[in-house]
Amino acid sequence: MRKAFWIAVALIGGFAVGGVALLRGETINAMWIVAAAVCVYALGYRFYSAWVAARVLAVDELRATPAVRLNNGRDFVPTHRWIVFGHHFAAIAGPGPLIGPTLAAQFGYLPGTLWILAGAVLGGCVQDMTILFMSTRRNGRSLGQMARDELGPVGGFAAILGTLTIMIILIAVLGLVVVNAMKHSPWATSTVFATIPIAVLIGLYLRNLRPGRVLEASLIGLALLLLAVAGGGLLNEHETLRAWFDFDGPALAWFVIGYGFIAAVLPVWLLLAPRDYLSTFLKLGTVLLLAIAVVLMRPELKMPAVTQFIDGTGPIFGGSLFPFVFITIACGAVSGFHALVASGTTPKLIGNEADVRLIGYGSMMLESGVAVMAMIAATLLDPGVFFAINSAPGVVGATAEAAVETISGWGFPVTVEQMQALAASMGESTLFARTGGAPSLAVGMASIFAGVFGESLLALWYHFAIMFEAVFILTTLDAGTRVGRFMLQDALSHVWKPFGETSWYPSVLITSGLVVAGWGYFLYIGVVDPNGGINILWPLFGIANQLLAGIALCVATGILVKQGKLRYAWVTGAPLAWLAVITTSATWEKVLSSDVRVGFLAAADQMAQRLADSALTPEQATVAPQLIFNQRLDAALALLLTAILWIVIADMLRVSWRVVKGLPVPPSSEAPAVRVAEVQT
């Protein structure tokens, strides 16, 4: 009976994947993708994750976890596995899996979807589960500490440097996404601004009025957020009020930079913590609602399976299918960042080692499912509309007429009237060149929600989706700046002791300022870049995230080899090899390609040439020196990231070689085994 069930799942899954890959009509129904995803996840979880947990990791359910041994009622607490699953999923799921697939949809729905499914089941889920397990065995040590303990100081230092770099780039690119969503949109801007006082209000409620009553405070906050969305609509109708919230990109960038600094130095209970409660509720609620709506609506996907842009000429970002689809979709397939969460908070809550399968592998499967939904939301739009929203003026032309002509010329017909009607129905003045992925995702989500719950609320749904993305992104921005600050304080404390004191205000102000200046610089350059900035920053973020995954998989592979499991080392070694290939070839192209839409150096040289020839307009000429410098800096950064990855790989291979040769290696940092029965309760 059981066997028959799994054979049926395999057959349906195979049939659905085949259908997704081979059906070539005008359109394909999203349910094909949903069915393929559900079956792939079910098979991956039931068979592969079970095998990895039992054979490779040798999960021992009778061995006491740190939560059981070190239970202190606070951070070390044995917790029910579904509760930990919820916490862990809320921690790993950010805006990444929503944005990456939206951008990668320029290649068509097929390449991205296949990578999301295969990458998650064989790579991302395995990474998350393995690191979670290894950190649990080491009392919840962080990835950086594990790298240092198990590989040596070189690996440890590289892990920390990689983490700091990815943090800076991640925050910059997310800031850019928010800025692009708010640009000249009073409704979106006022709603996003309103989330700040709402969060502060909830923060005061949670500390002073009714301390720690998270549920009721969150419900009040959610009601206020929905009011803010509706209120933004009313404000949008009012001529004077409207003008107060109508900003251009650079002004909004300065606002986000200032906000990031203030949020990083304020006490956490005032802004960061309450915002996070609200964003977690919104996140879980909206993801659930979206899944239900997709199944109810069963939309047709209008994007072709594969577009002509796989040759590298895509308007959203330059670069061919290989390696750039694998770089663009990091979160949702393999996300190195998860290794930081999986080695820290979550291991301290795990009540039984056997739970790492559900929590590590399962949460990542769900996150991958979110990425699949984002892909559906992007590809159900008319391709012409999708490209009109997501293409920068530097690529398709600065006016609406020029843009529709270019895009229609690619074989994706769209008209100015169509775009105007769409913008009007979404309560926006224009949807042309709203790069960054958030507006097109919001249009897609609004179409899905309105298709199921009624067409009349389209504009409300659109701004709800924008608010939802912004709340998420600003939480990541606050939390990331804070983590960056702690890492910098830790690093600087080796230079001068007082810098390490996390509550000493001069140190807090200086280090927060440095971190904000770091991402603020990339954000500002991205905003003034006529090609939209996303095309530069997102690939850099993808490379950084895959680099971090590479480091995590190196640590995992090294530990497996040290435990005498060389024959299973491919479980983490194969995804590692694949990530090394894609990050290295992506870096190679981003640095050396002679195509100015791909190569940083070629673009810098071309702009320098045009500046020298006075071929630029006065406005272009004023920002040109900054853009030229930035492209060269980006090239150096990409090289640095890839060099870090290869140093860690070399270190892991060195340790593995010594194990095979029987030479001494750093001892295992696993905590001594204690049986569950021996722990006093």
Q: Which stretch binds other proteins (CB under 8 A): 204-212, 222-230, 514-522, 597-605?
A: 204-212
Q: Which of 34, 67, 93, 549 binds other proteins (CB under 8 A)?
A: 93
Name the segment binding other proteins (CB under 8 A); options: 31-39, 267-275, 445-453, 578-586.
267-275
CB 438, min distance to other proteins, A: 14
345 lines the binding site for other proteins (CB under 8 A):
yes
Among 201, 291, 416, 483, binds other proteins (CB under 8 A): 483
Query: Least CB distance from residue 297 to other proteins, whole Å?
Result: 28
344 binds other proteins (CB under 8 A): yes
Long-range contacts of 203-210 (CB under 8 A, 24+ apart): 203/269, 203/270, 203/271, 203/273, 203/274, 204/270, 205/274, 206/269, 206/273, 206/274, 206/277, 207/269, 207/270
Token couple for 205: 């409620």
Residue 476 interacting with other proteins (CB under 8 A):
yes
Question: CA 425 from chain center: how many Å?
Answer: 29
Please, which of residues 456-475 interact with other proteins by CB under 8 A?
475
**Closer residue to other proteins in complex, CB, 277/386:** 277
Nearer residue to other proteins within complex by CB, 40 or 340: 340
Q: Does the protein bind other proteins through residue 373 (CB under 8 A)?
A: no
| Amino acid letter, residue 128 | D
Binding part of the chain for other proteins, among 35-43, 109-117, 210-218, 370-378 by CB under 8 A, reads 210-218
Least distance to other proteins, CB of residue 322, Å: 23
| Cα 215 → chain centroid | 27
How far apart are the C-alpha atoms of 72 and 294, rounded to whole Å?
43
Site residues for other proteins, 488-517, by CB under 8 A, read 502
Number of residues in contact with other proteins, rule: CB under 8 A? 57
Near other proteins by CB under 8 A: residue from 96, 249, 323, 451? 96
**Residue 492, number of CB atoms within 10 A of its CB:** 17
Which residues have CB under 8 Å from 669's CB, separation 6+? 138, 141, 146, 149, 150
Distance CA 59, CA 66 (A): 14
**555 touches other proteins by CB under 8 A:** no
- Beta pairing partners, 301: 28
Which C-beta is closer to other proteins: that of 83 or that of 234?
83
State yes or no: residue 341 binds other proteins (CB under 8 A): yes
In terms of CB distance, is 273 or 359 closer to other proteins? 273
> What's the CA gap between 141 and 129, in Å, rounded?
15
Taking the C-alpha atoms of residue 482 and residue 271, their distance in angstroms, rounded to an integer, is 12
Copy the structure tokens of residue 645. Answer: 């990855």
Mark out the alpha helices in 139-244 (DSSP H runs): 143-150, 153-182, 186-204, 214-237, 239-244
Q: What is the rounded CA–CA span in Å between residue 379 and residue 302?
A: 6
Q: Check residue 142 for interaction with other proteins (CB under 8 A).
A: yes
**661 - beta bridge partners?**
none
Sort strands 300-301 and 28-29 into parallel, antiparallel or unpaired.
antiparallel
Residue from 480, 518, 533, 539 in contact with other proteins (CB under 8 A): 480
Q: 63 or 141: whose CB is closer to other proteins?
A: 141
The DSSP call for residue 676 is G
Kindly state whether residue 353 participates in binding other proteins, applying the rule CB under 8 A.
no
Round to whole Å and give the CA distance between 90 and 88. Answer: 5
Helix or strand run (H / E) with residue 419: helix 416-425
Q: Does 223 bind other proteins (CB under 8 A)?
A: no
Selected from 113, 135, 218, 286, the binder of other proteins by CB under 8 A is 218
CA distance 494 to 84: 36
Dist. CA 50–CA 666, nearest whole Å: 30
Residues 29-58 close enough to bind other proteins by CB under 8 A: none
Name the residue type at position 119.
G
Task: Report if residue 482 touches other proteins, rule: CB under 8 A.
Answer: yes
Q: What angle do CA 15, 17, 22 make, to 5 degrees?
A: 90
Q: With binding defined as CB under 8 A, does residue 215 bind other proteins?
A: yes
User: Toward other proteins, which CB reaches closer, 167 or 460?
Assistant: 167
Query: Nearest approach, Cβ of 40 to other proteins (angstroms)?
Result: 23
| Nearer Cβ to other proteins (160/638) | 160
Tell me which stretch binds other proteins (CB under 8 A): 147-155, 269-277, 614-622, 644-652: 269-277
Q: Sketch the per residue contact string, 166 through 185, with other proteins: x for CB under 8 A, - otherwise.
A: ----x---x-----------
Binding status of residue 206 toward other proteins by CB under 8 A: yes
Residues of this chain that interact with other proteins (CB under 8 A) are 71-75, 77, 79-80, 82-83, 86-87, 91-96, 142, 170, 174, 206-208, 211-215, 218, 267-269, 272-273, 276-277, 280-281, 331, 335, 337-338, 340-341, 344-345, 475-476, 479-480, 482-483, 486, 502, 541, 545
